[in-house]
Amino acid sequence: MGRRKDDRPRCRGPYRHRDGWYVETIIPEAAGGTGRATSDYFGTEAEALEFKEIKERKLKRLHGVTFDEALTEYREFLVTTGHKKPSTEDSADETCRRLRLFFEGAINWRVGRLEEDAAGDLYKEFTKRTYVVGGKKKRREKPYSAAHHRHTLAQAKSFMRWCVRPQKWIASSPLEDVKGIGVVSVGKEQLTGTESIKFYRLCADRALDGDHAALGLLMCLLMALRNGDVRKRVVRDVDLDGTVLRIGVGSSARSKTKKGDRPRRIPSVLQVMIKRAAHGRDALAPLFPAADGGFHTKSWLKAAAKRLCKAAEVPYVTPHGLKGTTGTLATEAGALADAVAEYLSHTSTATGRHYVADGAAANAKAARALEVIVGGKR
């Protein structure tokens, strides 16, 4: 049996040379080739030994970290510091889950092993991934959308830039020139005004009967909240006698964006239902507790949306789509783009194009979005 090739970055020597001493540094190739070697020359053996000791420490830091180890550190970075602001626990977990799938073929490689060709191959393999949809009798595999894998590529590029700076594990990112594949569809499935009214009425009836998921979806629809903004609320976030909902204020769980971290006015039609959900309970308990007393997972509202959209006889729209529905109706009702972005908690008005249906701004009406949904007339 042949001897296994040593793929570790390493120093050899010092070796005697006619003019003194030299140390050889070997960096293996990403594809498992012979690698490249450089030699540094010194006048004395002591100088060569000192250089070798310093170089080996540097090599261990630069090339000794695997993708598995790096992603563990990256998650901690996202939660504590982030690129622009700290991420929520859920957001950091989802980002690193995707990145582990993206780098699955190289998860045990040292970060310094990955080169451009191999990085491009990792992305191509990721675009071929599928996921399972449907019930037990109609389960089928469905390819991920271009938006999904292109967004994951962008996350992978951010991760590799972090490996370059501030970590200094690699000199440059091998993903920088990798181009996304496919065309991204702009916009999310939303309800029409008439469908919103039907959905609102059904959810209001269910929420009055104590269906917390129906109430949560109404909060997405009428308050333009994200899934996590609803699930992560605790009882003390319901403030000022049920008229204000605190998000990201003080010790309250943060939203996805800085714009989302602010108190929200609770519409009068929801105040009684939200106050009842919070009444007589511990201040730090989840506003909508799961069966084990903790917070629900993100699938809670998604599953409820499928159930209640079907019951209301309207197309299935995700909780995020309900948030977008509010934006579209608000724009149609004549709200300015900046006001809609503020209401939807987006950092810029440009982001709104993913949430507001095409042509909504051009068809602005006089009535307001919430009056359309709750009042049922324009």
Tokens read off for 223: 């308050």
pLDDT of 186 reads: 54
Beta-bridge mates of residue 26: 10, 37
1 or 105: which leads in pLDDT: 105
Exposure string of 208-223, with b = 16+ CB inside 10 Å and e = fewer, is eeebbbbbbbbbbbbb
96 or 164: which leads in pLDDT: 96
CA distances 66 to 180, 201, 288, Å, are: 25, 53, 40
Asked if the model's pLDDT at residue 206 lies above 50, the reply is yes
Asked if the model's pLDDT at residue 325 lies above 90, the reply is no
* Interval 141-152 mean pLDDT: 88
CA–CA gap between residue 67 and residue 133 (Å, rounded):
30
167 or 331: which leads in pLDDT: 167
Please tell me the least confidently modeled range out of 184-198, 308-322, 330-344, 356-370. 356-370
374 or 131: which leads in pLDDT: 131
CA distances 58 to 74, 118, 167, Å, are: 20, 24, 12
Asked if the model's pLDDT at residue 336 lies above 50, the reply is no
Asked if the model's pLDDT at residue 377 lies above 80, the reply is no
Task: Identify the structural domains of the chain with CATH numbers, from first to last.
Answer: 10-63 (no CATH), 67-164 (no CATH), 193-375 (1.10.443.10)
CA–CA gap between residue 55 and residue 377 (Å, rounded):
73
- Asked if 55 contacts 163 with a C-beta cutoff of 8 angstroms, the reply is no
pLDDT of 334 reads: 55
pLDDT of 212 reads: 94
Closest CA to 345 of 372, 370, 323: 323
Confidence of residue 369 (pLDDT cuts 50, 70, 90): low
CA distances 342 to 123, 225, 351, Å, are: 35, 12, 11
Q: Is the pTM of this model over 0.85?
A: no
Confidence of residue 193 (pLDDT cuts 50, 70, 90): confident
Beta-bridge mates of residue 40: 23
pLDDT of 305 reads: 92
- Asked if 342 contacts 334 with a C-beta cutoff of 8 angstroms, the reply is no
Asked if the model's pLDDT at residue 338 lies above 70, the reply is no
Respond yes or no on whether the N-terminal peptide bond of residue 86 is cis (omega within 30° of 0). Answer: no
How does pLDDT run across 55-95, given as a tens digit for each residue? 877 776 655 688 998 999 999 999 998 888 788 788 899 99
DSSP single-letter state for residue 172: S
Mean pLDDT estimate for the chain: 80
Helix 193-208 to helix 319-332 angle (10° resolution) is 130
CA–CA gap between residue 254 and residue 236 (Å, rounded):
14
185 or 238: which leads in pLDDT: 238
pLDDT of 6 reads: 55
How does pLDDT run across 43-54, given as a tens digit for each residue? 899 999 999 888
pLDDT of 346 reads: 44
**E-state strands within the chain:** 10-17, 20-27, 36-42, 130-133, 140-143, 238-239, 244-245, 264-265
- Tokens 């971290």, residue located: 261
CA–CA gap between residue 220 and residue 239 (Å, rounded):
18
pLDDT of 333 reads: 53
pLDDT of 215 reads: 94
Tokens read off for 186: 């702009």
Q: Is 224 helix (H, G, I), strand (E, B) or coil?
A: coil
13 or 185: which leads in pLDDT: 13
How does pLDDT run across 154-189, given as a tens digit for each residue? 999 999 999 888 887 787 899 999 999 887 665 567
CA–CA gap between residue 354 and residue 121 (Å, rounded):
29
